[in-house]
Amino acid sequence: MGSYMEILGSRAKEASRFAGKLATNEKNRVLLSVADELCQKTESILNENEKDLTAAKEHGMKASLIDRLRLSEQRILDMAEGLRQIAALDDPIGEVLSMKTRPNGLRIGKKRVPLGVVGIIYESRPNVTADAFGLCFKTGNAVILRGGSDAIYSNKAIVHAIKEGLRKEKLPQDLILYVEDTSREAVNEMMKLHGYIDVLIPRGGAGLISSVVQNSTVPVIETGTGNCHIYVDEYADLSMAVDIIENAKTQRMGVCNACESLVIHVSVAEQALPMIVSRLKKHGVEIRGDETACEYCEEIIPASEEDWGMEYLDAVISVKVVNSLNEAIRHINTYNTGHSESIITEHYRNAMQFQDEVDAAAVYVNASTRFTDGFEFGFGAEIGISTQKLHARGPMGLEALTTTKYIIFGDGQIR
Amino acid sequence: MGSYMEILGSRAKEASRFAGKLATNEKNRVLLSVADELCQKTESILNENEKDLTAAKEHGMKASLIDRLRLSEQRILDMAEGLRQIAALDDPIGEVLSMKTRPNGLRIGKKRVPLGVVGIIYESRPNVTADAFGLCFKTGNAVILRGGSDAIYSNKAIVHAIKEGLRKEKLPQDLILYVEDTSREAVNEMMKLHGYIDVLIPRGGAGLISSVVQNSTVPVIETGTGNCHIYVDEYADLSMAVDIIENAKTQRMGVCNACESLVIHVSVAEQALPMIVSRLKKHGVEIRGDETACEYCEEIIPASEEDWGMEYLDAVISVKVVNSLNEAIRHINTYNTGHSESIITEHYRNAMQFQDEVDAAAVYVNASTRFTDGFEFGFGAEIGISTQKLHARGPMGLEALTTTKYIIFGDGQIR
């Protein structure tokens, strides 16, 4: 029959055939029922979570990571609420995006259908387990989850509750499969399940994502790395620039849409830099600049070449002073990760040129990069933020978990 | 600076920035000019083609493959005409697919933009060289081509003519780059150019495609393998079934949308099989069937398990007799390659169930699978036929060579 992972793959594929046939009403009812089941199993989930927390403390895990790992009654209620919200979203499956009649009478339509089997490889947060199931189930997919070994007890308890909910609704429990083998070999094998898994989505740090991109033969959607820039144009409203930079850098430091790099036109650098630096210093942000920036403001410390490409996810920001918009665009296109970039300007042509020429998933004029988010964009859900160009780019809502199929109605046509 | 391939990658990336800025009028003018240049260079292209033909004969290449390799004045005119047709197509770049205003006043739009750098790895036919350039250029992309070593002189001559056309129009010649290093190492390195190449499209046989899928770290669009089925339902119009099967199997044998496998409901097998076999025999087609099929018709020879999954690309077809529509769907979903499948039926529910449950890029009712083609679908062009689910599925027109970017217009919004 094949290896452990192949068996999981073929079970998921079998279950996905079933999921694809479910009507929206049925899927919504099951999501509500699974949400209830999670709440009912709160005690056992918390008990299992305690095992992960004990192990984490023994291994000397950082307090911030332990906090991400920790579940509480409220966090489980939030997970359940997340599933109920997914139930309330429109179902993208079955929509016919176009239908036309060809000269020979063939009616050719393009219909949105499930991908089939979605694989998700993720790190510590156990709430991803319920969230990923909800999004995949709503879109008629089966899901294979591989969480971090730190959260293995918590994840298994959540998966158990979901399976119990599915069982009560008389649905195949294989709609969610969890890779219990936490070895590196198992995850490597998962990345080679071409033919079983239709798409693999890594959710976690840059190391995890790069390892999946390098090793997977299954199509991957790259998510999340963000070296986001804000460019202060020579025609910027400087007071707006300072507010936006403060927000984009400090509102939440550890996220992929936070600003990591500033680019400033030389003609406003002398005036703008002290304003920006004094605002950022209030939040304890360290500013690393090029030579010109350091000249204009003594609180800026010298940046090295590596700083231009860094995603700090921390209270640090780099500053580059440029002589032109073209130089700014070139700098951004050289060092960015294709996530979110913003120009602050009152100048029409500069705004348009920046939007046209900067190569990223989201290009802003006069707004904070922090808005790159499925909820802020109005999708009602988010699977992640794609920084690649194929299939989905930018915040991914339910549609990113679907594909299309051509449906053709004939009456005997031959070529 | 890096290896030969990295240098090619970075030159292509540089050129792609330029290509993305070109207006449609400019792109169309250049395509016409390149078409003229190809015609003017007919003699030198034919001379170089002669070198490939001589080498091919020395190596004992099959006559059918030599024919694919051979250029003529007419074939060069056809290539030029292909570029002129691409010039006449609508430019997908710049279309804003949606634009809405969020409650906070942010205007968020989704705009179609070029992918950047497209890599194409292909086998013998030299006309792909001009075709691939035309499609990528029209969509604002740079292209890196790696053709088969059999066609190296022909391909280089065509690339030279295209570059000459670009030079005359004062455009960067790096908009088309040809990998002259024909070693296996070079192609392996090309597949690892993540960060330079945005998508890799293999065009050729199953071996080539599988090798690219297995080895590439660049996102790949799988194309072309087609084990296409026709299912003759118990409620089929048998005369229509025979016509469609004849067309799908014999109109052109060596193509991916040709029918390779028949599935027949047992209640019509006795009547239908002799009709089908006698029609196919006229074209010299060998029919391999399961035990039941062989019982009904002595001209059918026994099939083995491997036959169910075979893409013959030749005058052979397999026949499986089933007891129900469900069994037919299960058989097809087990052995197909996700290309094109057709049901012949007059029964409404069976038609709908087949379309809903068969997992393939194109699912037909009462029509030949041979219609799965960008031109037949009305796209005016075809890059290939995707048999994967990510990004593009089925025949790919110009849109498959594009991605989207979110453009966001604010007036100082912060979170």
Whole-number Å distance between alpha carbons of B368 and B344: 10
> Taking CB atoms and an 8 Å limit, are B394 and A388 in contact across chains?
no
Phi, psi angles (nearest 5°) of residue B351: -60, -45
ipTM for the whole predicted complex goes beyond 0.90? yes
| E strand segments, A133-217 | 142-146, 176-178, 199-203
**pLDDT tens-digit profile of B151-195?**
999 999 999 999 999 999 999 999 999 999 988 899 999 999 988
Whole-number Å distance between alpha carbons of B341 and B257: 9
> Taking CB atoms and an 8 Å limit, are B333 and A17 in contact across chains?
yes
Cβ atoms of residues A357 and A238 within 8 Å: no
Whole-number Å distance between alpha carbons of A275 and A262: 13
| E strand segments, A34-191 | 96-101, 107-114, 117-122, 142-146, 176-178
Q: Scanning every residue of chain A, which has its alpha carbon at the shortest distance from the alpha carbon of B244?
A: A414
> Taking CB atoms and an 8 Å limit, are B414 and A251 in contact across chains?
yes
Which chain A residues are closer than 8 Å to B388 by Cβ? 198, 219
Cβ atoms of residues A20 and A115 within 8 Å: no
DSSP B140-155: T-EEEEE--GGGHHHH
What pLDDT was estimated at residue A374?
Answer: 93
**pLDDT tens-digit profile of A285-317?**
999 999 999 999 999 999 999 999 999 999 999
> Taking CB atoms and an 8 Å limit, are B366 and A411 in contact across chains?
yes
| E strand segments, B147-236 | 176-178, 199-203, 228-232
| Domain spans of chain A, in order of start | 4-222+391-409, 228-371
How far is the CA of A395 from the CAs of A59, A222, A380, B220, in angstroms?
35, 12, 11, 21
Interface of A with B in 10-49 (CB under 8 A): 17, 20-21
Report helix, strand or coil for B170. coil
Which chain B residues are closer than 8 Å to A371 by Cβ? 106, 408, 413, 415
From the DSSP assignment, how many helices (H) and strands (E) are in chain B? 14, 16
Cβ atoms of residues A233 and A253 within 8 Å: no
| In the predicted structure, residue A124 carries a pLDDT above the cut 90 | no
Interface of A with B in 364-403 (CB under 8 A): 364-368, 370-372, 376-378, 388-391, 393-395, 403
**pLDDT tens-digit profile of A215-267?**
999 999 998 789 999 999 999 999 999 999 999 999 999 899 999 999 999 99
- Choose among A359, A395, A360, A400: nearest CA to A378: A395
Average pLDDT for A7-20:
95
Average pLDDT for A111-139:
94
At the fourth CATH level, which superfamily is domain B228-371? Aldehyde Dehydrogenase; Chain A, domain 2 (3.40.309.10)
- Choose among A78, A200, A173: nearest CA to A127: A78
In terms of DSSP H, where are the helices of A169-311? 184-190, 206-215, 238-250, 266-281, 291-296
A295 close contact with B: CB closer than 8 A: no
- Greater confidence, A48 or A67? A48
* Cα three-residue angle B180-B183-B187, rounded to 5 degrees: 80
Q: Scanning every residue of chain B, which has its alpha carbon at the shortest distance from the alpha carbon of A354?
A: B407
A243 close contact with B: CB closer than 8 A: yes
Amino acid of residue B236 = A
CA distance A359 to chain B (A): 8
- Choose among B94, B102, B193, B84: nearest CA to B146: B193
A241 close contact with B: CB closer than 8 A: no
Cβ atoms of residues B206 and B369 within 8 Å: no
> Taking CB atoms and an 8 Å limit, are B393 and A376 in contact across chains?
no
**pLDDT tens-digit profile of A325-362?**
999 999 999 999 999 999 999 999 999 999 999 999 99
* B4-222+391-409: CATH number: 3.40.605.10
Interface of A with B in 83-102 (CB under 8 A): 100, 102
CA distance A116 to chain B (A): 9
Q: Mean pLDDT of successive 10-residue segments in chain B (415 residues)?
A: 87 95 97 97 97 95 89 96 96 96 97 97 89 97 96 97 97 97 90 94 88 91 92 98 98 94 98 97 97 96 96 96 98 96 98 97 98 94 92 95 98 97
> Taking CB atoms and an 8 Å limit, are B410 and A366 in contact across chains?
yes
What pLDDT was estimated at residue A174?
Answer: 97
Please name the residues in contact with A31: beta carbons below 8 A apart, sequence gap of 6 or more.
Answer: A83, A84, A86, A87, A134, A137, A138
What pLDDT was estimated at residue A1?
Answer: 52
Q: How does DSSP classify residue A371?
A: G
**pLDDT tens-digit profile of A387-402?**
999 999 999 999 999 9
How far is the CA of A315 from the CAs of A66, A261, A286, A320, B153, in angstroms?
21, 12, 6, 17, 57
Report helix, strand or coil for A29. helix
- Choose among A224, A209, A233: nearest CA to A332: A233
What pLDDT was estimated at residue A136?
Answer: 97
Both tokens of A233, joined, read 């144009």
Amino acid of residue B319 = V
Interface of A with B in 246-265 (CB under 8 A): 246-248, 251
> Taking CB atoms and an 8 Å limit, are A367 and B408 in contact across chains?
yes
Report helix, strand or coil for B365. strand
Q: Scanning every residue of chain B, which has its alpha carbon at the shortest distance from the alpha carbon of A389?
A: B403
Q: Scanning every residue of chain A, which has its alpha carbon at the shortest distance from the alpha carbon of B108?
A: A377
> Taking CB atoms and an 8 Å limit, are A357 and B243 in contact across chains?
no
